[in-house]
């Protein structure tokens, strides 16, 4: 990465003394914003760690999860589903077997006969919002039932908010299960 007068590594801003900062003039690590001292601040002019906002010096006790307050330390210790740590589908490599190759692909990839195929780089032409949602949907589709069910155990879980974020119909998944009634965070869902 371009140094841009940074004393640390993996910074995308300028004048940082720490590592992995997205903003500028931070003296800690993993800050998003400007003029922060401390680690993992989102916003600007914060001194401390884990602050969201501006001009904060204390460690915040509560954070917002599904638009409701929740204890940050409990969130940090909460088991989260693996699928939410999905990779963005910007480009994807796909192996094409020799038997599936077109004549043009054979001309374009002359070593196909040695490797019995070739790697095809698939480019996606999505908007940023579409990339995010399609990536989340693929991760959800590939997740195990157990991992999906951890989603419903997230604090303050709200299926409508989650659908707005990820483009996944979380209520529909529950109705596809074998149980007649499923309770999630005090809300009962009945299979139709």
Task: Judge whether residue 66 has pLDDT over 80.
Answer: yes
Write down the pLDDT at residue 36: 82
pLDDT tens digits, 143-173: 999 999 999 999 999 999 999 999 999 999 9
pLDDT band of 68, cuts 50, 70, 90: very high
In contact, 156 and 185? CB cutoff 8 Å: yes
Domain ranges of the chain: 1-60, 91-123, 128-190
The secondary element (H helix, E strand) that includes residue 99 is none
The C-alpha atoms of residue 3 and residue 10 are separated, in whole angstroms, by 9
User: Model's pTM, two decimal places?
Assistant: 0.62
| C-alpha torsion sign, points 121, 127, 131, 133 | negative
């Amino acid at each position: 990465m371009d140094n841009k007068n940074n004393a640390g590594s993996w910074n995308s801003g300028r004048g940082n003394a720490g590592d992995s900062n997205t903003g500028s003039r931070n003296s800690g690590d993993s800050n998003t914003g400007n003029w922060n001292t401390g680690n993992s601040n989102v916003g600007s002019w914060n001194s401390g760690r884990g602050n969201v906002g501006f001009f904060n010096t204390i460690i915040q006790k509560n954070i917002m999860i599904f638009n409701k307050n929740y204890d940050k330390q409990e969130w940090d210790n909460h088991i989260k589903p693996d699928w939410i740590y999905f990779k963005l589908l910007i480009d994807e490599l796909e192996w094409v077997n020799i038997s599936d190759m077109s004549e043009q692909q054979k001309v374009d990839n002359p070593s196909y006969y040695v490797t019995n195929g070739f790697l095809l780089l698939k480019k996606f032409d999505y908007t940023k919002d579409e990339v995010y949602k399609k990536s989340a949907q693929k991760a959800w589709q590939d997740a195990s039932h157990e991992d999906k069910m951890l989603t419903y155990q997230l604090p303050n879980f709200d299926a409508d908010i989650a659908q707005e974020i990820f483009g996944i119909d979380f209520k529909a998944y529950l109705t596809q299960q074998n149980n007649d009634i499923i309770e999630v965070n005090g809300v009962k869902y009945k299979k139709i």
